[in-house]
Every structure is written in C-alpha cells, then in structure tokens.
Chain A
C-alpha cells in the first residue's frame, strides 16, 4: 500500500514535469525524448523494482553473532514466551567465556565424536561409506577437518549442546516427537568440556593446509579451489552442484525421508535466487522460507561469502569475462554513435 502511494506520487510528479517541459522553449526532439524516457523509466520501475518489492517482503538482514538475539526478538515481537530460548542462549554465552584447552579437547572429541564423524586431516578416517552412513543416520555426517574454521564458534557451542535448537529445525524434530535427530544433544557435558572441544576443532582447522592447485593456476582457479573446500563441507552432504560435477553425499531418496523434501541442485542458484537472497537464506533459512527442512548451518560471515562466491564461480562462470568486455563494447559503440551523429549532420546540412 505504501508503495502504491509512492507510485502515484511519482506519477503525479512525472505529469507535472511533462507539462512544465511542454511550456519551456525546449527543442522539440529533446522534449519528445524526455517524455519517452520518463514513460519508459516509469513502466520499468513498475514491473521491476516495485513488483519485486511487493512480491518479496523485506526480511531482517543476515546476522553472524549467533547469540539468539534475533530469535528472542522475533518471539517477543510475536507475543510468545521466550524464557526457554533466553536461558538456552545465556548458557551458550557462559560456555563461550571459558578458555578452551585444545589438548583436552582432542581427547574429548576422540571419545565422543569420531565414532560417527571423520576428521581426515587429523587421521580419523570415515568408518562407513557415504551411502552406508546416510542409510544409518539419515544423512552423511560431516567431516570435521575444517569445521572449526567454517562454523562460528558460538554456533558450534550451541550445536554441540543442542543441535536441533541451534539449527532451527524444532518443527522437524519436536521434543518427544516420533523422529529423533541423529546427533544427540550434549548439554549434560561440563561447560569447560564443550569449550575444550570447540578449541580443538578450531586448532585442527588452522592446521589444514590450503587446497593444492595445479602449478601456474590462475587467481580465479586458486580462489575457486579454496571456496570449493568450504562449499563441500557446508553444503554437499545434502546438495549437488551438477555444473561442477559435485554430487550430494546423501542420495535424494534418503534425503527425502530425512527432511521430507529433496534438496535442490545448486548450479544455477546464484541466478535464480541472487546474492542477497542467498546470504539471508543461508544465514537462517527459516526467516526466508518458514518451515523449510534446511537447517541453519551456522557459517561464519567469511565462510558464507566463500560459499556464495563459489556458487557465482560455477553458476555465473563468465562474470569476469562479461565485466571485462562490457566497457570495450560500450566505448566502441559510443565512438560509433559520435560518427553517426556527425554523418547525419553532414547529410542534413543541405536539407534545411
């Protein structure tokens, strides 16, 4: 409704401008051009920015603090009880204050995590094939080699404490519901222990060397390899990227049993959703698409931009070429237009 009023105001301004223009001693062709530009500009505004604004309501921008503030605000705004969620995030904040010990963390992770998760960089191999793991757990558990780098520290603490809450998928795994999330909550552990494990994961991630690329690889190739590593950890357990030859580690059939939907191939998502949508969506899927089976994965701001950049590098791989060619073509055409103008003037000099 607000936009409608804005549109009408714009229309009135344009009409007034039109009348003013017609009163001024403005060259006739210039006046016609001005009216044409105004009309075309107005219709463009109507079916593009205005229509998008009307069809895609604004959502809060992505937040990377993972302190539950937005969740609490949303609940309070809706007039619902936020006590439980407040208490949960208060606990997380307390755990985060502990200084973690990576050595102690390693022992804890070895005892508690490596039964299901591999940490290849630290010498903990996968115990089952992707297909078997998917069949056993519902989805292939992630390798944790760079988990400490890709996922936010606060988020990891929240995740270890209570995965379902951290991921915002309570609607898929309600307390006391039939389905149980494959990874158990560890909120029975001591705060110091959780802090230690997170410290270890972070430590291990720092030790992972940059992905190897061919000798003489271009900057584009190097950045693509770095981004791919993050993308594979963050997305590929469920999603395929066909245009990069990447298949989802969990098959569509198993996935649809797990979350009740088939996760899409992400090859063209940079074109179909766009950068801004992807950022807001990945940061917290429920905010853009309430009820979706996709969990909040808790990527750090950097990791998330690497994921989106990788989607651009695969889905819009000629972006650099396009941006390099554009000014050349436009300069060429501008010069052509100048010559065309001069030629026209030469011919028409005799006609007046």
Chain B
C-alpha cells in the first residue's frame, strides 16, 4: 500500500484518496471547448437537464404506478393525477419533458448536420448520438404505452404490427414482442420493464459514451475551424484568455449552458402548467379498449415524419405492395441518418450556408421533414395521401442524391 501522510484539510484528504485535483482539471477546468460557439452548443447540457428531470419525476411516478392492464389507467389518472400530493405536477413534467426532450434532440441533431459536426474525426460522436436517438425513441414509445389509454393501446398495436412486415419471421416476431396474439397485459408489463429498467440503464451508459467520444476530436465550432488545442490552451493558462481560441468547460462553457437552461426552464414550465395538451393527447384520456378503434390514430409529434414515410407509399409499384414499400422506406428512414458521415463526401467542414451545394440540400431536407410531420397527423385521404407520397419520395431522393451532390461540391471547392 502507498504511504499516506496526514492530511491538512478535507480537500487534501480526498485528493490523497481520489486524486480529486487532477480529476477536476481533466474533466472541468482544463477540458477545452472552442470559444466560437453560439447558444445552440448548449443543447447537450439542456438535454442532460431534461433527462434528469425525467428520471426524478419518473421515480416519483413509479411509486404509485401499477403496471397492470386493469389498474394502469386509474393509477395514472386517478391516483397520481388527483390523489397524490403534487402527483399531477410530476406527471405533467414527465409527459411534457418526454415531448420536449425530442424537440431539443432534433435541434441538437440538426445543429450537428448544419455545422458539419459529424465529419473528419467526429464520426463516433455522430454514431453515439444516433444511438441515443434510437434509445430515446424506444424509451418514449414504451413510456407512452404505460397510461394504457386509447392512444397508448393503438399506437402499441400499430408499431408492433410493423415488425410483422419482416420477411419469414415477421408473424412470430410480433407475437414474441407482444407476449400474446394481441396487445394485452403481457405487452404492458414487458414495456414497463423496458421503460423503467433496461432502456434507462443502457441510456445512461450511452450518454457517458457520447461524452467520451467528444474527448479526442473536441467539440466543433461555429466556423468549422481546426486549430492546435495545445497551443491555444497554453495561451489560456498563461492568462491570455481573450486571445485564446479555447475556453474551459468549467466555469466558462457551463456558465453559458446554465443561462440557456434557466431561460429554457421558464418556457418549459409554462408548457407544464398551461399548455400540456400537445404532449398528453386528449384521446389518451379514454381507457384502452381493444374493441374500439379511435377515429384517428397518430403517434406523438416527434414520430410523425417517420410515420408519414411509413404510410406515404399507399399503392403498388412494380408488383410490390404499398405496405411493403412503406415498410422498406420506413426502414431506410430509420437507418439512413446513421451513415450520414459517409454519405457526405465533401471535405468541407463549414456551416451549411457557406457550402455551395450542401446548403440547398439541408434546407430542402428541413422543408421536407416539416411537410412530413404536418401531414403525418392528418388523415391520409385525398390530396393528403399524395402530399405524403411526394414528401416521402423526396426524403428518399434527398438521401440517395447526397453522395453525388457532395461529390460535386468537393470538386467545386477543390478538396478544401
């Protein structure tokens, strides 16, 4: 065992045992972040904040929630919402938080796409981020089932049904996932397990991994500039903070994050108290009834774009049924963002608006996702179905065209 001298302070006592001083330097005061950033760089910290709120409120909800098809609805809408002290507040924060977390994820994700933060050494940041997106989607979907309302039930029905489209094993897979031939008590309890145990545990691990992936390539900056971190950090440590291109994670970067979080929380709690209907659909306040299909079935807003891709192909093309085409397009939409770093073949790391070709692609994609989201909620009849079809086809086309477009851009900028 190493020799320990008597500590002169509590700080020293901990330092001897946990190397606190060096650890703080590595993780906080000498963890370097570029200075050329705007408030969009605070979305990561904001997501951590929202995730914490979800976990804390989730723990309180867990104390009263009953994962049983006969009791779930009333345990949420009666016990938690009306009986438990401030149960309504915890549920509103949890419900609105789940919806808003996706808003911030999308802002985070499209900030990365806009500034090219997935390229040239930052591929692992992007991949781990997309893994988090998949995990959050699974967490959101499994959680949506728990109140056991009409929308819970029918969303579960529609989404589990999707797996039936997988060749050969589809039918058996659906039964295996549901634990029954239809969405039932068994389905509820297993999704409860996924929501409160398996997915959160994996999520926490994936978040830690996402942080780790930032360590070596460093966070991107507003101009996509590559510079010598060692030289710039020496400038900072020597006291020339104003001329250094870097800032410290603590307190510089986090002070800005806290400001953004605090301002955002005003907006967030406004939604929690006054405008939570968008996150807690009225239809879900009718108890689940497998014999009664709601007039309109639609997912929460953050899944609308991929839902619209799924149902966008509503007619047979070349002998393949609309349903199968939709499933293939849906699978494509789920996976394609993951390989974005390899689809973008232009070496330019710049904000989209400074890239001659990519800027059109980016804003077209945004517009297309808006159309998909808005029409994803409307009944797919008449003109709506055709808008959905063209928007879905545009989505596929944009990603198929991306390698070619960025190759043209690469030639235009001469490999810079």
A binds B: yes
B374 touches which one: A46, A273, A334, A344 (CB < 8 A)? Answer: A46
| Range for the number of chain A residues in contact with chain B | 35 or more
- Among B81, B242, B262, the residue within 8 A (CB) of A318 is B81
With contact pairs A36-B107, A333-B262, A348-B252 given, residues A318 and B40 touching in the complex (Cβ less than 8 Å): no
With A29-B38, A318-B82 known to touch, is A351 a contact of B247 (CB < 8 Å)?
A: yes
Alpha-carbon distance between A266 and B282 when the two chains are bound, in angstroms: 14
* CB neighbours of B107 from chain A (8 A): 36
Instruction: State whether the Cβ of A267 lies closer than 8 Å to any Cβ in chain B.
Output: yes
Most B-side CB within 10 Å, residue of A32, A44, A273, A322: A322
Stretch from B176-184, B270-278, B340-348 at the A interface: B270-278
Contact of B256 among A268, A322, A344 (CB under 8 A): A344
Least Cβ–Cβ distance between B28 and chain A, in angstroms: 13
Q: Which residue of A lies closest to B379 (CB)?
A: A55
Given contacts A326-B273, A340-B258, contact A350 B370 (CB under 8 A): no
- Verify A40–B265 contact, CB threshold 8 A: no
Contacts of B89 on A, CB cut-off 8 Å? 322, 325
- The smallest beta-carbon distance between B299 and chain A, in angstroms, is 10
- Considering only residues 370-414 of chain B, those with a C-beta below 8 Å from chain A are 370, 373-374, 376-379, 383
Task: Check A55 against B78 for contact (C-beta < 8 Å).
Answer: no
- Closest Cβ of chain B to A45, distance in Å, is 9
Kindly supply a per-residue 1/0 record for chain A positions 308-333, scoring 1 wherever the CB is within 8 Å of any chain B CB and 0 otherwise: 00000000011001110110011001
Nearest residue in B to A28 (C-beta to C-beta)?
A: B38
B160 contacts partner chain A, Cβ-Cβ < 8 Å: no
Q: Which of A1-56 contact B (CB under 8 A)?
A: 1, 4, 7, 28-29, 32-33, 36, 39-40, 42-44, 46-48, 50-51, 54-55
Interface string of A276-287 (1 = CB under 8 A from B): 000000000000
B409 to A: closest C-beta gap in Å: 21
Is B103 an interface residue when CB atoms closer than 8 A count as contact? yes
Q: Are A274 and B259 in contact (CB under 8 A)?
A: no
Q: Which of B107, B258, B262, B283 has the most A CB atoms < 10 Å from its CB?
A: B262
Contacts of A36 in B (CB 8 A): 107
Q: In the bound complex, do residue B266 and residue A351 qualify as a contact, i.e. CB atoms below 8 Å apart?
A: no
Categorize the interface residue count of chain B.
Answer: 35 or more
Contact with A along B37-62 (1 / 0, CB 8 A): 01110000000000000000000000
Residues of chain A within 8 A (CB-CB) of B370 are: 39, 42-43, 46
- Chain B residues within an 8 Å CB radius of A268: 77, 285-287
Tell me which residues across on chain B come within 8 A of A131, comparing CB atoms. none
A329 and chain B: residue at smallest CB distance:
B269
- Are A326 and B262 in contact (CB-based, < 8 A)? no
Q: Does B88 lie at the interface of the complex (its beta carbon under 8 Å from any beta carbon of A)?
A: yes
Taking CB atoms, residues of chain A closer than 8 Å to B373 are 43, 46-47
**A75 contacts the other chain (Cβ, under 8 Å)?**
no
B242 touches A336 (CB 8 A): no
B251 in contact (CB, < 8 A): yes
Give Cα A271 to B256, complex, Å. Answer: 39
Select from chain B the residue with minimum beta-carbon distance to A268: B285
A-B contact count (CB 8 A): 129
Whether the pair A317, B82 counts as a contact (CB closer than 8 A) is: yes
Bound Cα distance A337, B269 (Å): 13
Q: Are A351 and B35 in contact (CB under 8 A)?
A: yes
CA distance A348 to B377 in the complex (A): 44
Shortest Cβ distance from residue A16 to the other chain B in the assembled complex, whole angstroms: 14
In the complex, B263 has a CB within 8 A of chain A = yes
Cβ of A272 and Cβ of B296 under 8 Å apart?
no
Say yes or no for A220: interface residue by CB 8 A criterion.
no
Residue of B nearest to A314 (CB): B82
In the docked arrangement, what's the CA distance between A333 and B53, Å?
A: 15
Residues of chain A within 8 A of B321, CB atoms compared: none
Q: Is A343's CB within 8 Å of the partner chain B?
A: yes
Contact assessment for B378 and A55 in the assembled complex, using a CB-CB cutoff below 8 Å: yes
* Chain A residues in 8 Å Cβ range of B13: none
Whether A47 contacts B278 by the Cβ 8 Å rule is: yes
Cα of A329 to Cα of B265 in the assembled complex, Å: 10
Contact of B247 with A32 in the complex, beta carbons under 8 Å: no
B218 in contact (CB, < 8 A): no
Cα(A47)–Cα(B259), bound, Å: 29
Assess A350 versus B242: contact at CB under 8 Å? Given A50-B374, A51-B378, A273-B282: yes
Contact with A along B293-326 (1 / 0, CB 8 A): 0011000010010000000000000000000000
- Give CA–CA (A54, B82) in the complex, Å: 32
Cα–Cα distance between A274 and B39 once the two chains are bound (Å): 38
Q: Mark A227-249, 1 if CB is under 8 A from B, else 0.
A: 00000000000000011000000
CB-defined contacts of A214 to chain B, threshold 8 Å: none
A343 touches B259 (CB 8 A): yes
Q: Which residues of B contact A273 (CB under 8 A)?
A: 282
| B258 x A32 contact (CB < 8 A) | no
CA gap between A50 and B370 in the complex, in Å: 13
A347–B273 CB distance below 8 A: no
* Residues of chain B within 8 A of A318, CB atoms compared: 81-82, 88
Given A28-B38, A326-B274, A347-B255: A333 touches B265 (CB 8 Å cut-off):
yes
- Chain B residues with CB under 8 A of A351: 35, 241-242, 247, 252
A352 CB-CB contact with B under 8 Å: yes
Q: For the complex, give the distance between the alpha carbons of A264 and B292 in Å.
A: 12
Is the CB of A341 closer than 8 A to any CB of chain B? Answer: yes
Q: Provided the pairs A322-B273, A330-B269, A337-B266 are in contact, do residues A344 and B258 lie with their beta carbons within 8 angstroms?
A: yes
Nearest residue (CB) in A for B258 is A340
CB distance from A13 to the nearest CB of B (A): 14
Separation of A57 and B38 alpha carbons in the complex (Å) = 43
Q: How far is the CA of A55 from the CA of B297 in the complex (A)?
A: 11
Cβ A329 vs Cβ B273 within 8 A = yes
Contact mask for chain B residues 240-259; partner A; CB cutoff 8 A; 1 contact, 0 none: 01100001000110011011
In the complex, chain B residues whose CB is within 8 Å of the CB of A48: 277-278
Q: Considering the chains assembled together, what is the distance between the CA atoms of A11 and B35 in angstroms?
A: 34
CB of A202, distance to nearest CB on chain B (Å): 36
A22 to chain B, nearest CB (A): 9
> Closest Cβ of chain A: how far from B284's Cβ, in Å?
8
* B21-38 at interface with A (beta carbon < 8 Å): 35, 38
Top 8 A-B residue pairs of the complex, sorted by shortest distance between their CB atoms: A46-B374, A272-B285, A326-B273, A271-B285, A340-B262, A337-B262, A344-B259, A51-B377
**Known contacts A4-B383, A271-B285, A340-B259, then 7 further A-B pairs from the complex at CB < 8 Å, ordered by chain A residue:** A242-B74, A268-B77, A272-B285, A274-B282, A343-B259, A351-B241, A351-B247
Q: Can you pick out 29 interface pairs between chain A and chain B where the beta carbons lie within 8 Å of each other?
A: A29-B39, A43-B370, A43-B374, A47-B301, A47-B377, A55-B295, A243-B78, A264-B286, A267-B77, A268-B285, A268-B286, A269-B285, A272-B285, A318-B81, A318-B82, A321-B88, A326-B274, A330-B270, A330-B273, A333-B266, A337-B259, A340-B255, A343-B255, A343-B259, A344-B255, A344-B258, A344-B259, A350-B242, A352-B242
